[in-house]
Structure 1
Amino acid sequence: MVRRIDVTGAGGVRLAAWEYADPSPSSSSRGYPKGLPSPRGGGPGSGSAAGSAPRVHPEPKRPGVLLLHGLMGRASHWAPTARWLAGRYRAVAVDQRGHGRSGKPAEGPYGRDAFVQDAEAVVEQLDLAPVALIGHSMGALTAWQLAARRPELVRALVICDMRASALGARSQREWEEWFGSWPVPFAALADVRRWFGEEDPTLERPRPSRGAFFAEVMAERSDGWRPVFSRRQMLTARETWVHDAHWEELAQVRCPTLVVRGLDGELGRAEAMEMVRVLPRGRYAEIPDAGHLVHYDSPEGWRGVVQPFLDEVLHPVA
């Protein structure tokens, strides 16, 4: 089960958050945000004395987990992860500004501070703290910047395939050229899956999971299928981090942190190991047969490294 909750982000931008709930009856009333009614009910046969109010035993708050997608992503990319998390944790994914069903202000801002403040707003307004943050790519950078700036809010961190080193102007130019190469509009979703999974000239080998990933961020218009985001806004957002290194903030993260990379991802092994060394409580995991989209390329491998880490550091209520 999943339900949408609107959150007010930095500058009043509306953010769409999605809470995934364990469908089992024993957990249906746990972990609801402040101000929202619990579905727990009472009445005849509830075990209370006749004529008296039912006795309610509050259940312990489950640890919160906030999932942050990468550039061009959306909360629904986390659905498989959020579903297995929901059995033991309070799992929330959010469409970040400019993405999915969240607000897309024409002129932004799309800088680092705005994204970090948005994540902070989700944590505080949904009462998730101290939260475990799971971030992919740009979302991972947002996650560790929030952990560095507001350590009291963050209990654990998972960084998935995001570099701490500066990528530089050349990288930004390559992205501009890549966006310009997209054959939009696509006539059908099958064309989206084929182009991003097989025909994109930047691909070294076919990756059907990549095609499925991009099909998730397309919407049908009068002339065909187009991305639900503005490529101009994506470039603007990326411009705010590619020219800088982010080692200093990484070193300020005090909570247990798992650095995950796909064997064929964008984060190289040497840099990942250096990130683990810089992190005061860093750990490392590598997933074979996975590229940049680790959780899409190898769902079982992803779960196999993330779930034990969270179970260890969060100590969930059974």
Structure 2
Amino acid sequence: MAERVDRLDVTGSGGVRLVAWEFAESPGKRRAAAGRPGVLLLHGLMGRAAHWAEVASRLAGRYRMVGLDQRGHGDSAKPAEGPFGPETFVADAEAAVEQLGLGPVTLIGHAMGALTAWQLAAIRPDLVRAVVICDMRAAALGAGSQRQWRQWLASWPLPFRGLAEVRRWFAEEDPALDRPRPARGEFFARVMAERPDGWRPVFSRRQILLAREGWAHDAHWEELAQVRCPALVLRGLDGELGRAEAQEMVRVLPRGSYADIPDAGHLAHLERPEEWRERVEKFLAEAEAV
């Protein structure tokens, strides 16, 4: 397993303090990784860089693997009033690539992070060599989706008494679930912190809704069509991105390709890390050979 060997400070858009984490096979191999092709891992809404640890370990032997805690998430700053628009997340990722010397970089994004990845690739083709889009829709989700999210966030039984309770509620008891999902419980356990009254999320739910507002109402096909580098659309068969929309995204992408992972949902990189690595590694090898 790779371990998180170093904290890297980044100054994001508007001077916001961001934190990135570099993954390597061992502490002594971080220096060697500096000469390898750079990969920036962009988590989804409510996530953090630590969610990439297992799959990063499987790629660290060939790539310089860096995960960014995006604004409002993880250990990065959470400015009270934002901004949290898509263009700000893109500017933050751009700053991370440039300040950490990762370019030309491969961007691997999950959900919201995937949108950030393809938007950055569209406006800075000089900075991005390839993109992996994990379970993110290009179509608009609509106002109803935002209302559902507001109700769901308000339904959380906060504070939790411990991490076991966090895991159980998000993996088994959340009414939004279609079936038990242990990886989902682990996902949320990693974004909780102990407070005087119990365990609460490290992020602000209000800020999460603000961040989601920026992309829930708009479609993003135009930016997708501007991505000139190789791009992989990757989905769990039981995820949020349907097959028909995924195939249309591949068609719109000038150099798009498609892969899926059976028996996986929205969190495919946590549910099926070995299968996820196989698909991504195959794509990266093909992209490098072009």
| TM-score of the aligned structures, taking structure 1 as reference length | 0.88
- 1:92-111, aligned counterparts within 5 Å? 92-111=66-85
Out of 8, 15, 20, the residue aligned to residue 18 of structure 2 is 15
Q: For the residues of structure 1 that align with 2:97 and 2:274, how far apart are their CA atoms?
A: 27
For residue 15 of structure 1, give the secondary structure of its aligned residue in structure 2: strand
2:163 aligned partner, one-letter code: L
Equivalent residue, structure 1, for 2:65: 91
Residues 44-77 of structure 1: CA deviation (Å, up to 9, x unaligned): xxxxxxxxxxxxxxxxx31000000000000000
Asked whether the 8 Å contact 1:187–1:225 carries over to 2, the reply is yes
One of 285, 289, 294 as aligned partner of 2:259: 285
The C-alpha deviation readout for 1:181-200, integer Å capped at 9, x for no partner, is 00000001001000000000
State which drifts further: 250-259 or 306-315: 306-315
Contact 1:10 1:118 in 2 (8 A): yes
Q: Matched residue of 1:311: which SS? A: helix
Aligned length: 286
Q: 1:217 aligns with which of 187, 191, 198?
A: 191
* Cα contact 1:193–1:208 (8 A) shared by 2: yes
Q: 2:284 pairs with 297, 304, 310, which one? A: 310
Q: Deviations over 1:88-139 (max 9, x none)?
A: 1110001000000000000100011110000000000011000000000000
Q: Which SS does the other structure have where 2:58 is aligned?
A: helix
Tell me which residue corresponds to 1:198: 172
CA root-mean-square deviation:
1.1
Question: Partners of 2:31 and 2:252 in 1: how far apart?
Answer: 40
C-alpha separation in 2, matches of 1:73 and 1:191: 19
| SS of structure 2 residue aligned to 1:280 | coil
Q: Secondary structure at the match of 2:153?
A: helix
The equivalences for 1:248-263 within 5 A come to 248-263=222-237
Asked whether 1:245 is paired with 2:247, we answer no
Give the SS at the match of 1:151: coil
Q: Distance in 2 between matches of 1:80 and 1:169?
A: 35
In structure 1, the gaps of 5 or more residues are 33-60
Matched, 1:73 2:34: no
Shift of 1:24: 8.3
Residue aligned with 1:260, SS: strand
8 Å contact from structure 1 (residues 63, 314) kept in 2: no
Once the 2 structures are TM-superposed, how far is the Cα of residue 23 of structure 1 from its aligned partner? 2.3
**Percentage of identical aligned residues:** 72
Larger Rg: 1
- Relative to the length of structure 2, the TM-score reads 0.96
Distance, in Å, in 1 between the alignment partners of 2:118 and 2:64 is 20
What is the deviation of 1:28? 4.3
Pair 1:207 & 2:186 matched: no
Structure 2 Cα separation of the partners of residues 242 and 263 of structure 1:
22
Structure 2 unpaired stretches of 5+: none
